[in-house]
Amino acid sequence: MTTQVLNSRVNKTMNKTKLSFLILLLVGLVAPFAIYPVFLMKLLCFALFACAFNLMLGYGGLLSFGHAAFLATGGYITGHTIMQWGLTPELGVLAGTLCSAGMGFIFGKLAIRRQGIYFAMITLALSQLVFFLYVQTPFTGGENGLQGIPRGELFGLFSLEGNLPMYYFVLAVFVIGFAVIYRTIHSPFGQILKAIRENEPRAVSLGYDVDKFKLVAFVISAALAGLAGSTKSLVFQLASLTDAHWHMSGEVILMTLLGGVGTIFGPIVGAATVVTLQNYLSQGPLASWVPVILGLIFVICVLLFRSGIVGEIQKFMKKNFN
Amino acid sequence: MSQDFVLETQGLIKEFKGFTAVDDVNLQVQRGHIHALIGPNGAGKTTCFNLLTKFLTPTHGKILFNGTDITRQSPTDIAKMGMVRSFQISAVFPHLSVLDNVRIALQRKLGTSFHFWKSERSLDVLNDRAMALLEEVDLAKWADTVTVEMPYGRKRALELATTLALEPELMLLDEPTQGMGHEDVERVMALIKKVSVGRTILMVEHNLHVVSSLSDRITVLQRGAVLTEGPYEEVSRNPQVREAYMGSEAA
């Protein structure tokens, strides 16, 4: 009987989440008619990036300070394969994603044995290594980056040159990426991942090889960060060093913390907030103050609402409507 | 010697930078016994325990589990072999439900733990077994509580249920009644007695009342070395043991 009660409760929360998904999807479908599509695409790319990062921090309990490397790798590989090999956009994006996954595997292999600050430092060091590699190697175009990446034709059939078709392509990519993350969290694998986050020695004593679980999670996270980078390079038709810089690794941490670590919608809200702020502030008189304002918000977030925007809303709902 | 030992150590030594925490310990745990490891603070009980469960690597010596040398195995490997440990502070997954805690232990046997593409509903087949285990430790009505909200004694019971889920041949309990009120101690003792049927248990314990009423055999450690070994009556009469405990136990 208890199991049934439990199941019905689980189903209720599942339905609520499903309803939120549906509403978000509808909003996503009509949004480009109200808001500038390029801005929306940028937002979606960063939201996916933050969600991928959140899988590692929020569900794996590991703070990676090197996710910029995966974002950049996705972008460069996609740009290169489309420009030099003439791949169609979906294949270019796939290539970028796979290369990021491969890089994630190498990073993970080297870093996962360490915990906490050491894990963060190793991932940072490795991503700096990748940064300097990309400054030097000719295929990235160095300081200039890869410019004028053609958006091409999806499956060789549908042109993505217009902003509206491109937007729906990005939306589809985002939905797929988000679905992968959601399923990963709510899978047998996700259960063990949560167990490891909650109490690692106990997970070991139950016979789970925790390093392998962390590695798989890291590769998934890296692949999805790469997917975000690949898609972004198509949107802006540009792959540049900005994506590889450690600022980017910091920014994704900010987005995730601001939105709410370990919540499914938190990174999306966080990414939306940061991207919107950057966009609007950079047009006004406060343009040169953007980093300061973001920093200030970050400090306030850490001091006052540590569980992030979505985390605080969830707490509030629980307190008042349960 | 035709006795059947589940766990055996031969000349176990652990040194930490010039300090010998465990000094030449030869321990033999007989199948079906509840074996207690006692000793004053700093006697090396927990170090010894961590060596046995492979959370530490011994400096010298051998550890045999069912006659197999496990000295160089990883903690994960020995857990898979059927030797499962508990921890001094309650080892639960605090922000998961009580049912999920047990399911996580059960789930390993399904062999789908790396399947990140499968729905977690595929784990529902384990619910009945998990509920039965919770029933066994009187936690059935707490099944959908978030673990962190349970009282301490209940958490220890949950930990026991989680350990039982693996159907271990040998359970290693690190101070199962530590930090508990009188009632909880009684409950956990009854539980240990109940689950010990058909199993071997090795426990580290401070509470001599627990040790005296549960264990078949006791090993007393002092300054990392074995002081004496035997059934409770014998050990408690030993003057050295009495001295080690400074008369704090008048039994």
B7 with B49, same domain? yes
* Residue at which a domain ends, from B150, B167, B184: B167
Q: How confident is the model at residue A12 (pLDDT cuts 50, 70, 90)?
A: low
Contacts of A171 (CB under 8 A, 6+ apart): A28, A29, A44
Q: Are residues B180 and B245 in the same domain?
A: yes
User: How many domains does one find in chain B?
Assistant: 2
Q: Is residue B211 included in any domain, yes or no? A: yes
Mean pLDDT confidence for B22-42: 87
- Supply the pLDDT for residue B251: 41
Asked which of B167, B192, B223 is the last residue of a domain, the reply is B167
What is the per-residue pLDDT for B201? 92
- B24 belongs to a structural domain: yes
- Of the candidates B167, B172, B169, the one whose C-alpha atom is nearest the C-alpha of residue B202 is B172
Looking at the fold, whether B29 and B147 belong to one and the same domain comes out as no
Instruction: Say whether residue A179 is in contact with chain B using an 8 A CB cutoff.
Output: no
Are B223 and B118 found together in one domain? no
B77 in the same domain as B1: yes
| 8 Å CB contact between A189 and A216 | yes
Which residue among B75, B86, B104 places its CB closest to the CB of A204? B75
DSSP3 helix / strand / coil % (chain A, rounded to 5): 80, 0, 20
ipTM here: 0.79
Least Cα separation, residue A156 to chain B (angstroms): 29
The reply to whether B78 and B9 lie within a common domain is yes
**Full domain range(s) for residue B99:** 93-167
Cross-chain Cβ contact B91/A201 below 8 Å = yes
pLDDT in tens, A100-156: 999 999 999 999 988 888 999 999 999 999 999 999 988 888 888 888 888 887 887
Pair (B56, B178) in one structural domain: yes
A115: left (phi over 0), alpha (psi -120 to 50) or beta: beta
Kindly state whether residues B129 and B72 are assigned to the same domain: no
Nearest chain B residue to A219, by CA: B116
pLDDT at A233: 94
- B77 & B45 share domain: yes
pLDDT surpassing 60 at residue A6: no
Residue B46 lies inside a defined structural domain of this protein: yes
Q: What residue of B is the nearest CA neighbor of A10?
A: B144
Q: Is residue B88 part of a domain?
A: no
Are the CB atoms for A199 and B93 separated by under 8 Å?
yes
Model confidence at A175: pLDDT above 70? yes
Give the model confidence (pLDDT) of B56-103 as tens digits: 888 888 899 988 898 888 888 888 888 888 877 778 999 999 999 999
**CA–CA gap between residue B220 and residue B205 (Å, rounded):** 11
Kindly state whether residue B138 falls inside one of the protein's structural domains: yes
Question: What residues contact residue B188 under an 8 Å CB cut-off, 6+ apart?
Answer: B153, B156, B157, B160, B176, B177, B180
Task: Give the bridge partners for B174, in sequence order.
Answer: B204
What is the pLDDT, as a whole number, of residue A13? 65
**CA quadruple A131, A132, A136, A137: dihedral positive or negative?**
negative
The separation between CA A92 and the C-alpha centre of its own chain, rounded to angstroms, equals 19
CA distance A289 to A282: 8
**For chain B, percent of residues with pLDDT exceeding 90:** 10
B119 and B3 within one domain: no
Give A176-224 pLDDT, tens digit per residue.
999 999 999 999 999 999 999 999 989 988 889 999 999 999 999 999 9
Contact between A212 and B107 using a beta-carbon 8 Å cutoff: no
Q: Is A269 helix (H, G, I), strand (E, B) or coil?
A: helix
Q: Is residue B87 part of a domain?
A: no
CATH classification of the domain holding B188:
3.40.50.300
Judge whether B202 and B48 are in contact, CB under 8 Å.
no
Q: Is residue B193 part of a domain?
A: yes
- Please give the mean pLDDT across all residues of chain A: 88
